[in-house]
Structure 1
């Protein structure tokens, strides 16, 4: 294959981001509804409240960040900023699962590392991204991103 692309949504975006950071054969990565820190997403997300509740008695957020550091995409921003990787980030401004502040912080880390991601902000929530018109905007944006030379 001459070109390999990865796409991930929500938790899948971490998997796609980790693959893109570690596999130089990946030339394009599109991360939908992502943030850099899995620990922060679990700690703050509405849909992950039960996970936080089970972890909180045993571990503090700062320790969880350290333990889950190998899963934190912010720690790999420099690898995601490599010149031969095109990067797209799609985020929902009303997301209660992956809070927009976490996505913005991740995008800022990418910029600090020298990446120039294509960013699409949609005025929807985590689950409403799957409904029209948001899914149409996201799909069209992905098509344009993948079609670029």
Structure 2
């Protein structure tokens, strides 16, 4: 299983090693900053250390937003938007219905700031927002839409920042979502949480007021952060879960190129953990536990990307804080979860949980 997993994590050759950048320009529009930036040549790391603590203590303000006013549905051709260097998958023929709106969080990339979410509608009040994994293409998880529809659950499959149709032309992969640019990575997470919460606003406008979220890998991290700050999410399926963004980056096979760029400039795990504290689930477990939710946590026994030790730590933190949690351990790895037969096992547990708890 480890050999299979390693083959899958190393098949792409278009990962780019980038140098460490603090990226403070990305923070200039953030709440809580108040223009208090270090002078040129100042201590950027100390500034971010203190800012992370301030964000965690005032996270409702950091993840606050204005509901978009330009929600609209578009019918458009289904496209793949591949990220792998040897992508052979093809998009199915036909059109899909997509929710589009302008993200309340703005970046230098107009294509990234136009939110995209495939809409699979059915009757009733129940709906789920799906957040795919890091570097997912444009059709990943679409099969869950019709499947959940059969259980009376409508689905929004949201493209995360810098993914598929939102990916800037200058990058082949969704590198800007998680990279060695510290503040850009934080900004991408903030945008994802705000975009997801905006999707909830739209669902409520459609009469869908029993809402859950299903996130995989990086999408799981974003889903947790959103649910910690939005009590409207009443059922949460975390498909691969971990503790700190830094720890996953440091220990996972999928992020070796990110770690390499950070280590070249002398950054350590402890320092990175503090730099990304404000977008790490462990910083908000107590806040997450404040509103009642049903939760499913799925992790994989042979995972080399979200290593099981970190998943077990996340599970323990959930239980210590009284969170209503069901845990499933799959007999595979991170990437092999998407392979037969494990993808069917994974889908079974997620769909069964959501059908029962929404």
Query: Which bracket does the TM-score occupy, shorter chain normalised?
Result: over 0.9
Indicate the residue corresponding to 2:214 in structure 1: 7
Q: Are residues 1:143 and 2:351 paired?
A: yes
- SS where residue 48 of structure 1 aligns? helix
- Out of 76-85 and 88-97, give the one that drifted further: 76-85
Q: Is the 8 A contact 1:74 1:110 kept in 2?
A: no
- SS where residue 14 of structure 1 aligns? helix
Shift of 1:26: 0.6
Structural RMSD (CA) = 1.3
Indicate the residue corresponding to 1:129 in structure 2: 337
TM-score, with structure 2 as normaliser: 0.40
State the 4+ residue runs in structure 1 displaced beyond 3 angstroms: none
Q: Is the 8 A contact 2:293 2:324 kept in 1?
A: no
Q: How does 1:56-71 map to 2 (within 5 A)?
A: 56=263, 57-71=265-279
Indicate the residue corresponding to 1:54 in structure 2: 261
Q: Distance in 2 between matches of 1:141 and 1:20?
A: 20
Give per-residue Cα distances to partners, 1:62-114, cap 9 Å, x unaligned: 11111111111011112332452111111111011110101111111111111
Q: Which runs of 5+ in 1 are unaligned?
A: none
Indicate the residue corresponding to 2:235 in structure 1: 28
- SS where residue 296 of structure 2 aligns? strand
Larger Rg: 2
Name the count of aligned residue pairs. 149
Shift of 1:58: 3.3
- SS where residue 6 of structure 1 aligns? strand
TM-score, with structure 1 as normaliser: 0.94
Q: Distance in 2 between matches of 1:77 and 1:84?
A: 13
Indicate the residue corresponding to 1:80 in structure 2: 288
Q: Distance in 2 between matches of 1:137 and 1:118?
A: 15
Q: Compare relative contact order (CA 8 Å, sep 6+) and give the higher one, 1 or 2.
A: 1
Q: Are residues 1:104 and 2:312 paired?
A: yes
Shift of 1:29: 1.0
Q: Distance in 1 between matches of 2:337 and 2:297?
A: 14
Q: Distance in 1 between matches of 2:270 and 2:345?
A: 36
Which has a greater percent of helix? 1
Q: Distance in 2 between matches of 1:83 and 1:23?
A: 9
Q: Distance in 1 between matches of 2:325 and 2:219?
A: 18
Q: Which runs of 5+ in 2 are unaligned?
A: 1-207
Give per-residue Cα distances to partners, 1:112-140, cap 9 Å, x unaligned: 11113111100101111012221111111
- SS where residue 297 of structure 2 aligns? strand
